[in-house]
Chains A and B, each alone.
Chain A
Amino acid sequence: MSAEHDRADAALAAAGDAEAFGRLYWRHAARVKALARRLLGPADADDGAQEVFVRAWSRLGQFRGEAAFGTWLHRLAVNVLVRQLHRQRRHAGEGDQALEHVAGPEARRPDADLERALRSLPEGLCEVVVLHDMEGYTHEEIAELLGIGVSASKMRLHRGRTALRPLVEGMRE
């Protein structure tokens, strides 16, 4: 089904078929955009997602079809976006400065408080929280993706969740 389409389109796109690449884009961009939004925030999400697909295009030759294309792309997206997150942090400093210039409809989204809180997390915590609790990665996978230990992943997740507790304060058990 979709995995077969992906495999066929990835092979064609690797050979330079822009149409096939377009089809891969339509099938997978929503998930990449969601990840970009969670990691980078609304202001930088589109640029981040764009970067992922540009990298994907140049690396399609490395996709051998052992894993599903979506899995391959998502791991690539994590690598690209986490690097971008670190750059963003270096440029903007920590805290929620990155969101300060976001206003209007973006700031009124129902999940805007969560997005803001995620980006206010200290360095190294946001990606672990997003990957584990929102993207469903295991600590072992996160450790491999981020080049950290499994224990460090568990510790960062706990610190991240703890820092997010104000989000749920006042909610009934």
Chain B
Amino acid sequence: MTDHPWADRLSEYLDGDLAVDEAALLERHLAVCAECRRALGELERVRDRLRADSIVPADQPSQAELAAVQGRIAGEGVPLRARRAARGRWLVGGVVGMAMAAGVAAIVLMAGEGNRAPGILPPVRVAAASSPYDEASRELEAELRRNRAQLGPESAEALARTLAGIDRAIAEAQRARAADPGNDFVARHLDRLRGERISTLRDALAAVRS
């Protein structure tokens, strides 16, 4: 290694972590050492590959995985007190929930019916926004709108049908919840449906980006 005194510092140089005088010395060596130049190039490509992979969309979480986490929490004796705490949620979370609910009674994927063009995503209405789930849904829909050119007409229609089905189920669950606010099953069912809606949108977004 005596022929390549800077070999162990190439990554620091690559990342701009070397002092100016050290970098100057290393550059002087690089000017006369093809082996170190090649090594530096490969290290840069390794770093680029790692960085590129870091932005690959991650596997989306699933309801089953959340259920597994909750199952373990329950199994290990950490209490889950969904309902009593949930009442507090509407007080503490009210700032968030009400802000989102304002003016967001119906969200459509297109800006308006009159703007619809053939082959792009038809409007999909969702239930009144009242939770961070709806915020997440709205952000995903906005992103999907920006990428809608990549979504073919058949896919758009299938997506719209799927979302409409989920929205109907959400609306029913919301009615059931309003009728029986203390029912844990209905609350969990509503969460599952909202999660399903988000997963569907994320899958569609991943598909149009790929």
Chain A residues near B (Cβ < 8 Å): 1-2, 4-5, 8-9, 11-12, 15-23, 25-27, 29-31, 33-34, 37, 45-46, 49-50, 53-54, 57-58, 110-111, 114, 129, 133-136, 139, 154-155, 157-158, 161-162, 164-165, 167-169, 171, 173
Across the interface, A154 reaches (CB within 8 A) one of B17, B39, B43, B73, namely: B17
Assess whether A168 is in contact with B59, with CB atoms less than 8 Å apart: no
Alpha-carbon gap, A58 to B72, bound state (A)? 12
Alpha-carbon gap, A104 to B12, bound state (A)? 38
Alpha-carbon gap, A165 to B43, bound state (A)? 7
Across the interface, B49 reaches (CB within 8 A) one of A5, A18, A54, A167, namely: A167
Assess whether A16 is in contact with B81, with CB atoms less than 8 Å apart: yes
Assess whether B61 is in contact with A9, with CB atoms less than 8 Å apart: no
Alpha-carbon gap, A173 to B82, bound state (A)? 56
Alpha-carbon gap, A70 to B71, bound state (A)? 23
Assess whether B79 is in contact with A16, with CB atoms less than 8 Å apart: yes
Name the distance in Å between A159's Cβ and chain B's nearest Cβ.
Answer: 9
Name which of B112-120, B127-135, B153-161, B168-176 contacts chain A. Answer: B127-135
Q: Mark B26-39, 1 if CB is under 8 A from A, else 0.
A: 00000000000001
Assess whether B81 is in contact with A17, with CB atoms less than 8 Å apart: yes
Alpha-carbon gap, A57 to B82, bound state (A)? 13
Between-chain CB contacts (< 8 Å), 11 pairs: A19-B86, A19-B187, A20-B86, A23-B133, A30-B57, A30-B58, A31-B58, A133-B51, A133-B54, A134-B54, A158-B11
B60 interface contact, C-beta 8 A: yes
Name the distance in Å between B4's Cβ and chain A's nearest Cβ.
Answer: 12
In the complex formed, the residue of B with least CB distance to A1 is: B135
Name the distance in Å between B156's Cβ and chain A's nearest Cβ.
Answer: 24
Alpha-carbon gap, A23 to B42, bound state (A)? 42
Assess whether A15 is in contact with B88, with CB atoms less than 8 Å apart: yes
Name the distance in Å between A109's Cβ and chain B's nearest Cβ.
Answer: 9
